[in-house]
Amino acid sequence: MSQQLLSNYMHTHVPLICSSPLTMSMNSRRRPPLLLLYVVFASAVAAQENDFYIVFLRDGASSERLLETHLNVLSSLKGSVNEASESLVYSYTKSFNAFAAKLSRDEATKLSNMEEVVSILPNRYHKLHTTKSWEFVGLTPNSRRNSKVESNIIVGLLDTGITPDSDSFKDDGLGPPPAKWKGCCAHSANFSGCNNKLIGAKYFKLDKRPDPDDIMSPLDTDGHGTHTSSTLAGVPVPNANLGGLARGTARGAVPRARVAMYKVCWASSGCADMDILAAFESAICDGVDVISISIGGVTGSYTSDSIAVGSFHAMRKGILTVASAGNDGPNHGSVANHAPWLLTVGASGMDRQFRSNVVLGNGLTLSGVGISTFEPRQKLYPLASGIDTAKSSDTREESRYCLENSMDPNKVKGKLVYCKLGSWGADSVVKSLGGVGTFIESDAFLDAAQIFMAPATMVNSSAGKRINDYIHSTTTPSAVIHRSEEIKIPAPFVASFSSRGPNPGTQHLLKPDITAPGIDILASYTLLKSLTGLKGDTQYSKFTFMSGTSMACPHVAGVAAYVKSFHPNWSPAAIRSAIMTTAKLMSSRVDKDAEFAYGAGQVNPTRAISPGLVYDMDDMSYIQFLCREGYNGTGIGSLVGQGPINCSKLVPVSGEDAINYPSMQLALKSQQEPTVGVFRRTVVNVGAPRSVYNATIRAPAGVEIVVSPATLTFSKALQRRSFKVVVKAKPMPDRVLVLSGSLIWRSSRYTVRSPIAVYNPWAN
């Protein structure tokens, strides 16, 4: 189902994949439930006797000799080659010098003390974190295309697998895969195979533990990976809809690009670090151009987090990794995947919502949110409050929430039931007892539409109170829930569930970077799973709605591929810069967390292909950034895949943040004195060869921003110009978390905007 409750403590990497709905425990009910709309979060699995570890080694042997080195290291620990090969799970030999092995905790400790070993990570398991959306962001069928180059672009996704026979992956009119492609399509009983659209499909499950709810195949039994892939690169499919809603042509950002799926997320176990790393290595080696990863969880340090490490190696090979920010909003500091070489994507809403009209027996009309495709057959049905349908006085508390085994079927049969949101699936419970439909009251989760398996709708607490008052005002309460309809709402806005800054990894980097549509996105789905995944659901559809930063991520990965189709040689940093500096402005009046919610704003594909100037960077810039952040040389060395880096020998970098990022963040350093930060930046001219840019500054009250020089003059293409930005901010009141400023470089043809966020670490 496209919605589930994520309990507050689920924190590990998980593909922003949908897992089975989690029921909240009774005592967690007072907290607002966190809705994980297809956000993947990995949850650490309790350590077992012998567990999987990923062991990073110092550089040394050539890649052909690495496997031997790995066995040698393990043999010296285990005492024999036989035992070593038994414990070795996987050798990473292509991008980094590492191996995965099954070890006891003692053995892991011993290994970590060995000379050759740089670091050891316990393998964690992470959980998983469209038709209209492309029109909404301005990428229409008539937008400029570079079709020939586009068909040479390969997008790689790390996800739950894919549905090869989906209409979104038909290969009509596409030639053979580009010559650079070195990947393959895993053979498996359940997988019909690849074609010229879906050119690669592999699966990774290094723990080899059988998953009863999944199959050892790249086949998607969940729907998440099919959905994200078709949003990114699906071919146009006319007449896509869910039960008649949102009917239109479904298509991806780059319909001619090729798709490669790397299945790393499994129905029961989530997404393991060692599988994520193996998939990154494989994707890099296979020749993908852009990687999209809608998997989340709390991000570890940049030198030990599997997504950070994998994407660093991708970046070094010129591949941009786009990742979802997570669905832990609106909590502050919840943003995941915040490494400086990732493009981190939050979710925003479009100008469309799905609502059902509700009429009560007294004539009162209300409305609720959700996708209910059922047309009532009667004008009104009898109505009851869940608490009045309790099996016994002992189950009254549970029946208030329409929980399983709490209600008396005789009191539910033939009725609509009103209950409070306790766990997803009240509609299934009521239906299984012969009920007609369900009102679910909640003040959270109202911005994304839940899909229901029986007539149901979600109402806010003020509407809920009116329903409850009405029930108690008459002896024969009645009501009806109408089929959902599309209504227009103001947009864009950041989804309540979208994870927010400040960046928990560093005070010197604004994250998320950008937002894209991630609410009620229609895209391809699997026929292997019902729409809700709930007991008794018999609804199946080739297309469905999902919500989450998981859905926003492939939108931006698609735009990255679109930009690359015009500029095949641009670096990952240049592509990210183009996407960020051309974003559509969002409003801090609508979203009070401002840049911490939306980064640079909402992605704007057709402008992103001509940014004028870009903030470029190479891997050395990131290494310097890590040195400045206080990472030790050994850790950085293991990230880079070589011996320890001597930070003191690098060319010193100056400035507040030591990075040429397209956004700026100044964290206040004092509650009494003004804080001053100097940001040094360099831009490359990728627009008209001869051009002049003038700076425009927007500074919020209490903040002074000065840029020098204030004019940049270019006489040729690819010329570089440097400038500095001095930001001086007064102490801020405790109630203010972030203030928004910006620097805009304007020429006669281009507008290049960088957000400048001033962050108050003392905010409460």
Ligand X SMILES: *[C@@H]1O[C@H](CO)[C@@H](O)[C@H](O)[C@H]1NC(C)=O
Name the 3-class secondary structure at 239.
strand
Binding segment toward ligand X, per CB under 6 A, in 286-294, 316-324, 456-464, 733-741: 456-464
- C-alpha of 532 from chain center: 20
Q: Return the bridge partners of 242, or none.
A: 245
Q: Helix 306-316 and helix 572-581: axis angle, to 10°?
A: 110
Instruction: Report the candidate in 392, 318, 753, 394 with the shortest Cα–Cα distance to residue 577.
Output: 753
Strands (E), 628-689: 664-667, 675-685
CB nearer to ligand X: give 528 or 585. 528
Nearest to 556, CA basis, from 19, 17, 139, 144: 139
Beta carbon nearer to ligand X, 465 or 535: 465
The one among 45, 528, 650, 726 contacting ligand X by CB under 6 A: 528
| Binding segment toward ligand X, per CB under 6 A, in 50-58, 401-409, 460-468, 675-683 | 460-468
Q: Smaller CB distance to ligand X: residue 190 or 694? A: 190
**Nearer Cβ to ligand X, position 166 or 337?**
166
Q: Which is nearer to ligand X, 201 or 645 (CB)?
A: 201
Please, what is the minimum distance in Å from the beta carbon of residue 188 to ligand X?
Answer: 8
Binding segment toward ligand X, per CB under 6 A, in 167-175, 327-335, 455-463, 535-543:
455-463
Catalytic residue among 70, 126, 129, 159: 159
Residue 559 lies near ligand X (rule: CB under 6 A): no
462 sits near ligand X (criterion: CB under 6 A): yes
Query: Active-site residue among 348, 550, 565, 747?
Result: 550
Q: From the list 1, 24, 215, 261, which residue makes contact with ligand X (rule: CB under 6 A)?
A: 215
If the CB atoms of residues 33 and 502 are measured against ligand X, the closer one turns out to be 33
Range list of H helices, 585-631: 595-598, 605-608, 619-628
Going by C-alpha positions, the residue among 131, 213, 205, 158 that lies closest to residue 40 is 158
Give the ranges where 629-715 is alpha helix by DSSP (H).
Answer: 633-640
CA–CA separation, 108 and 313 (whole Å) = 25
Q: How many residues bind ligand X (CB under 6 A)?
A: 9
Contact call for residue 460 and ligand X (CB under 6 A): yes
**713: closest CA among 742, 675, 745?**
745
Site string for ligand X, 126-155 (x = CB under 6 A): ------------------------------
> Is the CB of 220 or the CB of 275 nearer to ligand X?
220
Please give the structure tokens belonging to residue 31: 């907290």
Measured from the CB of residue 466, what is the shortest distance to ligand X in angstroms?
8
Catalytic residue status for 567: no
Could you confirm whether 550 is annotated as catalytic? yes
CB of 441 to ligand X, least distance (A): 10
Q: Clarify whether 187 is annotated catalytic.
A: no
Shortest Å distance, C-beta 165 to ligand X: 11
Using CB under 6 A as the binding rule, whether residue 606 contacts ligand X is answered as no
- Minimal distance in Å, beta carbon 366 to ligand X? 4
Span near ligand X by CB under 6 A; candidates 405-413, 459-467, 555-563, 717-725: 459-467
Q: Is 412 in the site for ligand X (CB under 6 A)?
A: no
Please, what is the minimum distance in Å from the beta carbon of residue 108 to ligand X? 36
Shortest distance, CB of residue 421 to ligand X, whole angstroms?
14
Judging by beta carbons within 10 Å of its beta carbon (0-12, 13-18, 19+), is residue 610 exposed, middle or buried?
middle
- Closer residue to ligand X in complex, CB, 528/726: 528
- Give the C-alpha distances (Å, rounded to integers) separating 170 from 196, 338, 499: 8, 35, 34
Nearer to ligand X, 367 or 751 (CB): 367
* Residues of span 181-210 touching ligand X by CB under 6 A: 189-190
Least Cβ distance, residue 463 to ligand X (angstroms): 4
Q: State the Cα torsion 118-123-129-133 to the nearest 10°.
A: 50
HSE-CB at 21 with a 13 A cutoff on CA atoms is 22
Tell the smallest beta-carbon distance from residue 191 to ligand X (Å): 9
We find the least distance from the C-beta atom of residue 419 to ligand X, in angstroms, to be 17
Confirm if 407 and 399 have CB atoms less than 8 A apart. yes
Is 642 within 8 Å of 629 (Cβ atoms)?
A: no
463 scored as a contact of ligand X (CB under 6 A): yes
Instruction: Supply the angle between the helices 619-628 and 633-640 in degrees, to the nearest 10.
Output: 160
Rounded distance between C-alpha atoms, residue 738 and residue 30, angstroms: 28
| Other residues' Cβ atoms within 10 Å of the Cβ of residue 523 | 29
Single out the catalytic residue among 13, 126, 129, 224.
Answer: 224
366 binds ligand X (CB under 6 A): yes
DSSP character string of 56-109: EE-S-S-GGGHHHHHHHHHHHHHSSHHHHHHHEEEEE-SSS-EEEEEEEHHHHH
Q: Which lies closer to ligand X via its Cβ, residue 215 or residue 560?
A: 215
H-helix or E-strand spanning residue 578: helix 572-581
Chain positions contacting ligand X, by CB under 6 A: 189-190, 215, 366-367, 460, 462-463, 528
| Residues recognised as catalytic | 159, 224, 550
